[in-house]
């Protein structure tokens, strides 16, 4: 018993150590460095007298507090970030002169911010939403910001519509409801009148919108960019980030539970993984299209609502991104970081994508308001590693102290400095694309195919993914109160897939339109010919794309997965530790969960520390569950309603479940007892993900194989497990 107490005391001391070291030996000062002898009492005229205006310590403290919050981002307000490094794996000088992509020996520092789009800073991580995936490269030639999402396409084709999209998806202005949700009238009213959003809506209603972790989602640059090499030759490029852990999601019901129990789930997951040394990694992939092939596809490369199927242009892996350090201060770094799609370096240039072109203005304009003025680039997290020399001076929050009297160019007083680099000295040069056109407010006819890639995405999904997507649409449109909006959306869905439209119509208690009708592009000028703006409805030559389904993601690892071990006093400690060690050897993390905190005793009098109690955690925080044997432990868990609920919920969310043979009675107390396999062969494990065994070594092997599968979605079909 004394040893237990000492262990707990040591654990407590260790947990405080960092905070003690961070603040050791320091005196409290004002912002000017003056030591403060009392910041708990304001300066007053007598003990009970009025506070005095001369109390500069009070005024400084209160003023700073009053101004601690800056305007939150209009979109992507809720975020989480980390520092890391990028290293190219090959020399891409045949494609680009960007140094960080041509020198495999160079390690480029990066800062990456993940975010949700629609919600405010105080919303949940697990909202059904697009996720931002923004990477700031601090290259030797200046900062390059690859500002992307976890989906490769977008809702709209032209930046002119961006304010309308955001106004529609944000909480409705008359009552500021709902928060961080798209399930409401204004959003679907916009969508039903904007057929170009068809493809993106399929992604948003899919499981991609509720990722298991930031570490387990893809990233995309969305737009088509250009790469330009030293000879001035240009290629079109699409940027991809592919996670080494695979692409995984959570169930919608699970996401809602997590939002209630831990709205910081994704933030915490990223932070803890880096603190544990489980550094998240992604491979940078490029889809390269030579300049001469710009028009060879059935879609327009400049259309941000379209992707390039990987079957047509394979993704070329060219580098690795590793996140290895958490921010030191959330506000100073994560909140103040300013990404800008226009921050490019020599060798990377823009295409004429009309959404990209509008964003080039929007980002600067946003930072000017949010970060107080034109000097936001001087905030430490935004400063480039490359030296900055220009003729910009003054402005709010200026930090650089420039010497001398010249701030103009050309000049002779400073011998012409700072000089223009020119093309020979590595300066940025825009690609000299030839343009011969009239100024016009119209959209290319090549942008009017709104449904073929939406069909492609839906057809590419596995059956469980199609079911999830259908359920998401039923949920979202079930929240829409305006019948006319629902009717338009059924017409909208009918042009993607008839069975999808029929399933949603049934849940809404409505009838789908009898005849297919094409939708008009709602952005046509008032005096335009409607036929010119009629949406093109056609079938693409590619009917399925393997890369679009998460069912085809890499499933060769359980690294960083979290496994719950349910146990109580009297547990078979040998089996528990054997399975735990086998799981840990594969890089996963185990928590022992018991009815109470502290320690539980094993059958052989081994004391096992408890990580969480059934009161303080839930199955939704874990990827799989193991129940070791032991007569007393099994009897306790069987009689514990929270333990049985834990298992029922894990089964409902299609997670791998393992149990020792003598723990079978715990599983038999669940709602899914009838699903227990009669023979624990590999086929049963593959189909159901439930493993029961006597030998802990074999059980551990099969359990690990099951966890690699991530989920056993086929369990959802009967939907017979209340939890």
Alpha carbon separation from 640 to 493, 566, 602, 618, 635 (Å, rounded):
46, 11, 18, 14, 9
SS3 of the chain: helix, strand, coil, percent, to 5 = 35, 15, 45
* Contact present, 477 and 470 (Cβ < 8 Å): no
Query: CA-CA distances (angstroms) from residue 496 to 156, 187, 439?
Result: 17, 19, 34
Question: Mapped to the 3 state alphabet, what secondary structure does 229-298 carry?
Answer: CCCCCEEEEEEEEEECCCCCECCHHHHHHHHHHCCCHHHHHHHHHHHCCCCCEEEEEEEEEEHHHCCCCC
CA angle 208, 214, 216 (to 5 degrees): 65
* Contact (Cβ atoms closer than 8 angstroms) between residue 576 and residue 565: yes
Q: Which two tokens stand for residue 203?
A: 């992604």
Instruction: Give the DSSP letter of residue 337.
Output: -
> Where does residue 677 rank: exposed (0-12), middle (13-18), buried (19+ CB within 10 A)?
middle
Q: What span, in angstroms and rounded, lies between the C-alpha atoms of 535 and 520?
A: 6
CA dist list (Å): 16 to 12, 327, 585, 689? 6, 19, 29, 41
Which DSSP state fits 187? H
607 by Cβ neighbours in 10 Å (0-12 / 13-18 / 19+) ranks as: middle
Q: Which of 83, 99, 143, 149 is catalytic?
A: 149
Pairing of strands 348-350, 598-601: unpaired
User: Is the distance from CB of 290 to CB of 693 less than 8 angstroms?
Assistant: no
Give the closest residue to 572 by CA, choosing from 605, 596, 597, 609.
Answer: 605
Of 417, 436, 435, 419, the C-alpha closest to 427 is 419
Q: Helix 483-494 vs helix 498-508: angle between axes, to the nearest 10 degrees?
A: 160
The yes-or-no answer on residue 193 being catalytic is no
Distance CA 417, CA 260 (A): 58
CA of residue 329 relative to chain centroid, distance: 20
76 is catalytic: yes
Peptide bond into 178 cis (omega under 30): yes
Length of the chain counted residue by residue: 723
- Token pair, residue 640, equals 């514990």
Burial 569-606 (b: 16+ CB within 10 A, else e): bbbbbbbbbbbbebbeeeebbbbbbbbeeebbbbbeee
Q: Quote the CA–CA distance of 274 and 278 in Å, as a whole number.
A: 5
Query: Which residues on adjacent β-strands are paired with residue 200?
Result: none
* φ/ψ (deg, to 5) at 266: -70, -40
Collapsing DSSP states into helix, strand and coil, what is residue 517? coil
Torsional sign, CA 522, 525, 527, 529: negative
Mind telling me the catalytic residues?
76, 149
């Amino acid at each position: 018993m004394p040893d237990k107490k000492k262990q707990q005391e040591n654990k407590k001391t260790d947990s405080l150590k960092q905070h003690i070291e961070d603040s050791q030996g320091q005196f409290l000062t004002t912002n000017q460095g003056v030591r403060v002898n009392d910041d708990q009492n304001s300066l007053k005229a007598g003990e009970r007298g009025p506070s005095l205006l001369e109390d500069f310590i009070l005024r400084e403290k209160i003023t700073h507090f009053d101004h601690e919050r800056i305007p939150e981002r209009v979109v992507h307000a809720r975020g989480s970030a980390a520092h890391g490094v990028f290293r190219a794996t090959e020399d891409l000088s045949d494609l680009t002169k960007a140094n960080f992509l041509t020198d495999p020996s160079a390690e480029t520092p990066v800062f990456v911010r993940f975010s949700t789009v629609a919600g405010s800073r105080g919303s949940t991580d697990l909202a059904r939403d697009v996720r931002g995936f923004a990477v700031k490269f601090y290259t030797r030639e200046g900062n390059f910001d690859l500002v992307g999402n976890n989906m490769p396409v977008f809702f709209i084709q032209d930046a002119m519509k961006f304010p309308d999209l955001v106004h529609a998806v944000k909480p409705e202005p008359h009552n500021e409801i709902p928060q961080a949700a798209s399930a409401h009238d204004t959003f679907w009213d916009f969508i039903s009148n904007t057929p170009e959003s068809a493809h993106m809506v399929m992604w948003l209603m899919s499981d991609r919108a509720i990722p298991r972790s930031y570490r387990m989602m893809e990233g995309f640059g969305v737009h088509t960019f250009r790469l330009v090499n030293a000879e001035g030759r240009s290629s079109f490029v699409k940027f991809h980030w592919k996670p080494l852990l695979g692409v995984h999601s959570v169930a919608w019901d699970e996401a809602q539970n997590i939002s209630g129990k831990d709205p910081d789930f994704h933030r915490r997951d990223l932070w803890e993984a880096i603190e544990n040394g489980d550094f998240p990694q992604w491979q940078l992939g490029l889809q390269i299209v030579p300049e001469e092939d710009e028009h060879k596809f059935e879609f327009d490369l400049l259309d941000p609502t379209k992707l390039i199927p990987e079957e047509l242009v394979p993704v070329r892996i060219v580098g690795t991104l590793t996140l290895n350090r958490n921010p030191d201060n959330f506000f100073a770094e994560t909140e103040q970081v300013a990404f800008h799609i226009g921050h490019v370096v020599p060798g990377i240039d823009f295409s004429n994508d009309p959404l990209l072109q509008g964003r080039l203005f929007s980002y600067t304009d946003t930072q000017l308001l949010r970060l107080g003025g034109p000097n936001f680039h001087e905030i430490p997290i935004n400063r480039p590693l490359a030296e900055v020399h220009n003729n910009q001076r003054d402005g709010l929050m200026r930090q650089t102290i420039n010497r001398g009297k010249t701030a103009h160019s050309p000049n002779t007083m400073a011998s012409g400095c700072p000089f223009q680099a020119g093309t020979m000295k590595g300066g940025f040069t825009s690609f000299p694309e030839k343009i011969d056109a009239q100024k016009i407010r119209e959209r290319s006819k090549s942008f009017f195919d709104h449904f073929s890639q939406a069909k492609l995405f839906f057809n590419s999904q596995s059956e469980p993914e199609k079911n999830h997507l259908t359920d998401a649409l039923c949920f979202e449109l079930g929240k829409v109160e305006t019948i006319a909006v629902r009717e338009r959306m059924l017409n909208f869905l009918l042009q993607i897939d008839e069975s999808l439209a029929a399933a949603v119509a049934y849940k809404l208690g409505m009838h789908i339109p009898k005849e297919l009708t094409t939708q008009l592009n709602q952005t046509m000028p008032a005096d335009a010919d409607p036929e010119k703006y009629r949406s093109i409805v056609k079938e693409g030559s590619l009917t399925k794309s393997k890369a679009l389904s998460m069912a085809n993601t890499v499933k060769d690892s359980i690294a960083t997965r979290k496994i719950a071990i349910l146990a109580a006093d009297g547990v078979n400690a040998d089996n528990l530790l054997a399975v735990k060690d086998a799981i840990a050897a594969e890089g996963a993390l185990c928590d022992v969960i018991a009815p109470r905190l502290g320690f539980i005793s094993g059958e052989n009098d081994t004391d096992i520390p408890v990580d969480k109690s059934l009161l303080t955690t839930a199955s939704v925080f874990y990827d799989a569950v193991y129940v070791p044997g032991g007569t007393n432990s099994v009897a306790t868990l069987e009689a514990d309603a929270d333990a049985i609920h834990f298992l029922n919920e894990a089964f409902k969310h299609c997670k791998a479940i393992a149990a020792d043979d003598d723990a079978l009675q715990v599983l038999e107390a669940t709602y899914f007892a009838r699903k227990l396999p009669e023979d624990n062969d590999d086929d049963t494990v593959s189909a159901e993900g439930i493993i029961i065994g006597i030998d802990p070594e074999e059980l551990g092997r099969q359990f690990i194989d099951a966890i690699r599968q991530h989920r056993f979605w086929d369990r959802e079909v009967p939907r017979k497990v209340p939890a």
